[in-house]
A and B are shown apart, each in its own frame.
Chain A
Amino acid sequence: MIGRRLLTLWAASVTLAAYAATAGLGGATPDVAVERPLSSADLAALKQKFRRPAATPFPKGNPFTEEKAALGKSLFFDPRLSRSGSVSCATCHNPSLGWSDGLGKAVGFEMKPLARRTPPVRNLAWGAAFQWDGRADTLEMQARMPITAPDEMNMTMDLVVERLKAAPGYGPMFQRAFGGDDPISARTITAALATFQRTLVSREAPFDRWIAGDETAIGPDARRGFELFNGKARCAACHSSWRFTDDSFHDIGLTATADLGRGKFAPPSVVAMRNAFKTPSLRDLRMQGPYGHDGQLKDLGAVIEHYAKGGEKRESLSFEMKPVELSDRERRELVAFLDSIRAEPAAVELPQLP
């Protein structure tokens, strides 16, 4: 009898546990952004989320050295890394054009247009995923991709190594950067390129001075734009942190093409990744455009209109894409805010190639 009672108690406890677990399922309370004027305390807390970091991070496996960064810079500007010998990383990632090329679509091997726009390469030291589709987990992995892509620089890493070994002057540079008897290799080339790219960091913008306490650093339009950006317009749902990106991937409802973006690498069941591309940083935006992963949006007016409409409705459309009504004034304020996160570009001294 007591045994039966014990069994009954056990069954009841299982039932209760299952009920408790089930009851908990519907209990999630989203941390929903509230649309109301920010109190000074809320604004101060919000500003902290966009404060610049004090130092640039470098991975333990590829720490910063001056020698490695200098070598990486030479490699970045060296056209011998391409099969034609005429295209360097800097051909598309041109420092005079914000480390991009100003084109809607990049131009690849034999001047053929590529499917996507050239992304700027600033602030990648903080990146969580690289390439528009995130197929590179590290900058070291990324560095190899355009060099070896047949439709881009169309090289093999073996041929790059061969060319650099044949160039007088590279041997000592690699020696200083990496040591060893035979330091020129695919690994050291990509390590140097990644190190140089990590040194490309946006300079202090007016917005940063405002965040640091200078109330006069940005105007009232930019301040209202900042609140819109974080509130009604919900831009900060993805364009968050001091880089104004969380490196997330979304289908923002642009006109779909054969390019599935991250959907090419995700299982077919992950519908949200079809037509999904990386959220770009908004720092140091070239205000004249074009925008979008493939340059579909010609200017900032088109970008804001696209987000106001909410993008093309389809199964993969990001959950974050919701239509929003924005007045002309609010649009101007958003643009004023974007202008406030632009810094004077750093002077770039071109390397003398070995």
Chain B
Amino acid sequence: MTFPTLRHVAFAGLLLFSAAPALAAEIEIPIHHTEVADIGVTPKVGDTLTFVNHADIAHNLYLTFEDGTVQTLDTQPPGTTKRTTLAREGHVIVRCWIHPIIRMEFDVSDK
């Protein structure tokens, strides 16, 4: 039996981090009444946003991406979540069809 040397371990680590995809993050964003919390970080393409409706009213969020693409999430009753995976980089504006007072903005990095 051959025990791995430090060089083997380093090589294995290199293989692991070059072969494995970058871990996508799941970012939870609470909604209280008509306030969507700031995202707090710069998400990456491939990360998933989870909007959690803690309000006692329904929401219907939509995301407008820098290229003009609009992604509408379905109506979100109280106590439910809606998820979306970020497919492109750039500036994003989150608004609500029901409550135009809602507005949250963030940037998505490419990696």
Contact = CB atoms under 8 A, between A and B. Distances in A.
Contacts of A270: 60, 62, 72, 75, 97
A3 B16 contact: yes
Interface residues of B, number: 41
B100 A28 contact: no
A29 interface: yes
A269 interface: yes
Interface in A104-143: 128-129, 134, 137
Contact of B54 (A10, A25, A28, A271): A28
A246 B100 CA distance: 9
A271 B97 CA distance: 10
Nearest to A237: B57
B4 A1 contact: yes
A30 B98 contact: no
B101 A273 contact: no
Nearest to A26: B81
Given A21-B50, A262-B97, A320-B57, A6 B70 contact: no
B23 A17 contact: yes
Contacts of B4: 1-2
A272 interface: yes
B30 to A, nearest CB: 8
Contact of B98 (A6, A29, A249): A249
A267 B56 contact: no
B79 interface: yes
Interface string B9-50: 101110110001001001010001110000000000000101
Interface of A: 1-3, 6-7, 10, 14, 17, 20-21, 24-33, 128-129, 134, 137, 237-238, 246-250, 262, 266-267, 269-273, 276, 318-320
Given A3-B8, A3-B13, A21-B50, 11 more contacts: A2-B12, A6-B13, A6-B16, A14-B23, A28-B78, A237-B57, A247-B99, A248-B99, A249-B98, A273-B97, A273-B98
24 contacts: A2-B8, A2-B12, A3-B11, A3-B16, A6-B12, A6-B16, A17-B23, A17-B26, A28-B80, A32-B56, A32-B78, A128-B101, A237-B56, A248-B99, A248-B101, A262-B97, A266-B97, A269-B74, A270-B60, A272-B98, A273-B97, A276-B98, A319-B57, A320-B57
